[in-house]
Each structure stands twice: as C-alpha cells, then as structure tokens.
Structure 1
Amino acid sequence: MCFFLFDGACFDLVFLFLKKKITQKELEKRDLEIQYQKEQLHAIIVTQEEERKRIAQDLHDDISSKLNIVSLNTHLLSAPNLTEVETKEITENIISLTTKALENSRKIAHNLLPPVFEKFGLSAGVEELCAEFESSKAVKVHYKNTAEFDENDIDRHLHVFRILQEFMNNSLRHGKASEIKIEFLDDNGIFTCNYEDNGIGFDSQNAENQKGLGMKNIDSRISFLNGTIRISSEINKGFVANFTF
C-alpha cells in the first residue's frame, strides 16, 4: 500500500515538474513574441519619424524658401517709382517661383500617396513606379502581374508598394543594378511578389547586412501583412527577395 502511495506521489511530482517546465517555456515564448512586436513597433515609429523629418525638411528648404521670396517680391511691387521693366521682371519672378513651389508640393504629395495608386490600385501604382525608375535611364525594369487585387485593400497594398520602393531604391543606390525584375503571382488567394536585380549584391548570410533601418521597416510591413519573406544575395551575384501577403 505504501509503495503505491509513494509511486503516486512521485507521479504527481513529475507531472507538476513537467507542467511547470511547459508553462515556463510558454511564458518564454510569449516574452519573445512581445519583444519582437516591440522591436517592430519601434522600427515603424523610427521610420515614421524619419519620414516626417524628411517631409518637414523638404517643406522648409524648398516650399517655404520659395514662398518667402515670393512674399518679398510681392512687397517690392508696391514700391514707388518702379519702371515698367522692373515691374515685369518682378512679376515674372513671382510666377516662376510659385510654379516651382506648386510642382514641388505635388512631388511631396505624390511621395506620400501616389495618385495613380490611390485611384487605380497596386498594379497601376507599381507600373508607374517602374516607369519613374526607368526614366532615369540608369535601370531597365521588367514588371509582370498575373494576380487580381481587391481595390478595397488599399491600406495593405500600400505596405507592398513601400516594400518595393525600398527594394528599388536599394537596387539603384547601393546595388548599382542596371536591371530589375518584379512579378506578382496569386496562389489560391496567397499573393507572392518575386523581386530580383543584377546588382553587386551582398553577403546575405551576414546578419549585420540585414540590420539597417530599411530592412527593419520591410520586416515590420511584412508582419502587418501576415506574410513571409525570403532574401538571398551573394557578392557580385545580385539580389533576390520573395515575399507573400
């Protein structure tokens, strides 16, 4: 009888020990998930702040400075004894500056949310993005899409658009690529984007190469899309990325 009691007590102790271990592992896993979410949130906040600073700088350096000169020129028009030639010169200067200010304000607004993307959706937005990069004559972009996107999903698609913007900027600025390929596929409602360039590449096995703000921003966007991403690159062998959303 005592043996069975002892055996039962041992079983209970082992059961409690295993239960404690499982609970501890679950807590550790949850802590890691929370930490990962915090890091993602921090990356997004930092990215947003950088974007706000850039917009503020653009507004201050370009739009505000031009409008200040327009204001000064406008006051000059009220000065007495202006000749007809002087009046014409000041007026032309005002028109020129306001035209440039309008053009640049459109560019800033376009960078925030391209009108084509907002009106016609992701595929049209990516087509325009490719055309913009090709207009530099520095790179050739091949774009193919066989997927049908829901026009009401614009908020999620904006993340996809920003990811591609980041990739393309990196391909041109850092990768020195002369050719970029982008393809969208639909596998039973799971969308995949295949991206590659023929640039100088980098060692993707080196974790330090994937710690930049741009990569953290991309990881955060992929997480919001409930997607996955796979990146591969070798020195002098280009860059390849495949992500789902």
Structure 2
Amino acid sequence: MLPSLESQASRNSSSISVQPEAESIGETVGLSGRLINVAEEERRHLARELHDDIGQRLSLLALNLDILSNEPNLEASVRAELERALAELKELATDVHNLSHRLHSTKLQHLGLPAALREVCRQMAGQHHIDIDLQADSSALPLAEDVSLCLYRVAQEALNNAIKHSHSKRVEVHFDNDHRRVLLQIKDFGVGFDPAAQVDGLGLATMQERLRMVGGTLAIRSIAGTGTELIAEAKTKDSRSATHAA
C-alpha cells in the first residue's frame, strides 16, 4: 500500500467515500490507478494546448520579430536587440515543443515505443549533456497502447532520476520484447542509493503502480558508488490474453 495515497484518501474521505476499516488493498490500488489515468488525460490536454495554442502563437511572434529585424532603416543597436530577442524566442518555442512531446509523445502514438524512446533519450542527452546509449530493436513486435505508455513513463522517470540524482555522465537503456514479455532496463554508473528508503522521493511507487496496471513488475538494484539498474518487465498483449483465457 502506498502511504502517500493512503493519507490523501484519509484526508479526503468525504469526497471519495473511503471507509478505512473496510477498505481493501485492492480498492486502494484501484484508486491509485484511477489517479494515474486522470493524470494521463490531463497530460494529453496540456500537450494539445501547448502545441496548438502556445506553440502557434510563439511561432507567429517569432515571424513578426524576424520581419521587423529585417527593416532596412533600423539602427544597428535596435537590430541587434531584436535579433537577440528572436533567438531567445526560438529557444523558448523549442522548449515548449519538447515539453509538449514529453507530456504526450506523438511518436509513441504513431511510431511505437522504440521511436519514442529514441526521441526522449536524444532530448535528455542534449539538454543535460550526458551520454545515453539506447539499444532498441526497431523491428520489435508492436505493443498494446497501455503497455507502451507505461514503459514510456517509466523510462522518463528513471532517466530523470539518473540525471538528477546519480551524478552519472553515462546511462544505458535496453529495450527488448518478444511474443511473451517486454523488458526495459535502465542503468547508470553513479552514486547509487537505498531503494527501500527512497520509494516516494524518486517516484518508484508510481512506477510500480503503472506496471501493476499492465501486469508488470519492477526491480531495482543499486550499489553505493557503483550505480543503479532499473528493470521493468511486462507481458505482451498475446501473453496477457493467454493468461486471461486460462
């Protein structure tokens, strides 16, 4: 049971009709799953707003600044300031574009998980100046939408943790699947940590819940001064169907 969700449910018992004495572990797990689904829908909404509204307005503003900076009668100092502002605006537009795709990856939706993983690894490596080595077979079998989204979010969270906390300049990402199971491994070579002591702070509980929702598991191995390896495993659609049929 996740303490943070349990305490939140207790504080809001009037609005979600929680009865602590009768509440089962399954009900609490179901609540956390619904919260994750609501958060995903909000991510999709924000991504659309950023792309369709904010992104388009920034592009129009950049176009106007570009036209203005090319006016022939501008003073050199004014032109220089306009060009500086235009460069900053283009950088901001790129950041908004990247944020939109982190919130909701169109590559994940249309091209599949390997392509989406390549994009997020490329963006994070460039933004944080680290080496991310991705091994993912582009010809891997297609996954169910919920499994793809689950592993994409787990990869995002694990990479963020490696970048923020491990102090490692190198991260290895390995993705593989077959007709039975899909495996995602993310390994850094940093300071390591105690997984049992930092479940909430590093988003591990959320990763565990995401994987539980698709019948998956999460394992973490960490050694002080050596690094951390995260292993996420889930069943493929065919494997899950066979399990339910049995």
Q: What's 1:13 paired with?
A: none
Deviations 1:9-57 (A, max 9, x none): xxxxxxxxxxxxxxxxxxx9982222232244346656877x699879x
Q: What's 1:202 paired with?
A: 193
Aligned residues between the structures: 205
Q: What's 1:180 paired with?
A: 171
Distance 1:123 1:36 in 2: 29
Q: What's 1:216 paired with?
A: 205
Taking a change above 3 Å as real, the CA distance of residues 150 and 102 of structure 1, as seen in their structure-2 partners, is same
RMSD over aligned Cα atoms: 4.5
Q: What's 2:241 paired with?
A: none
The letter for the 2-side match of 1:199 is: G
Q: What's 1:163 paired with?
A: 154
Q: What's 2:180 paired with?
A: 189
Distance 2:153 2:172 in 1: 16
The one of 116, 120, 124 aligned to 1:129: 120
Taking a change above 3 Å as real, the CA distance of residues 147 and 107 of structure 1, as seen in their structure-2 partners, is closer
Q: What's 2:215 paired with?
A: 226
Matched residue SS, 2:220? strand
Matched residue SS, 1:177? coil
Taking a change above 3 Å as real, the CA distance of residues 211 and 54 of structure 1, as seen in their structure-2 partners, is farther
Matched residue SS, 2:195? coil
Taking a change above 3 Å as real, the CA distance of residues 45 and 193 of structure 1, as seen in their structure-2 partners, is same
Assess if the C-alpha contact under 8 Å between 1:196 and 1:241 holds in 2. yes
Distance 1:117 1:230 in 2: 24
Distance 1:156 1:104 in 2: 27
The one of 20, 30, 41 aligned to 1:37: 30
Q: Which runs of 5+ in 2 are unaligned?
A: 1-20, 66-71, 235-246
Q: Note the C-alpha offset of 1:143.
A: 1.8
The letter for the 1-side match of 2:154 is: I
Q: TM-score, normalised by structure 2?
A: 0.62
Higher mean alpha-carbon deviation, 95-104 vs 118-127, is at: 95-104
Q: What's 1:16 paired with?
A: none
The one of 127, 144, 162 aligned to 2:135: 144
Instruction: Answer with 1 or 2: which has the greater Rg.
Output: 1
Assess if the C-alpha contact under 8 Å between 2:133 and 2:172 holds in 1. yes
Q: Note the C-alpha offset of 1:167.
A: 0.4
Distance 2:202 2:195 in 1: 16
Q: Which runs of 5+ in 1 are unaligned?
A: 1-27, 74-82
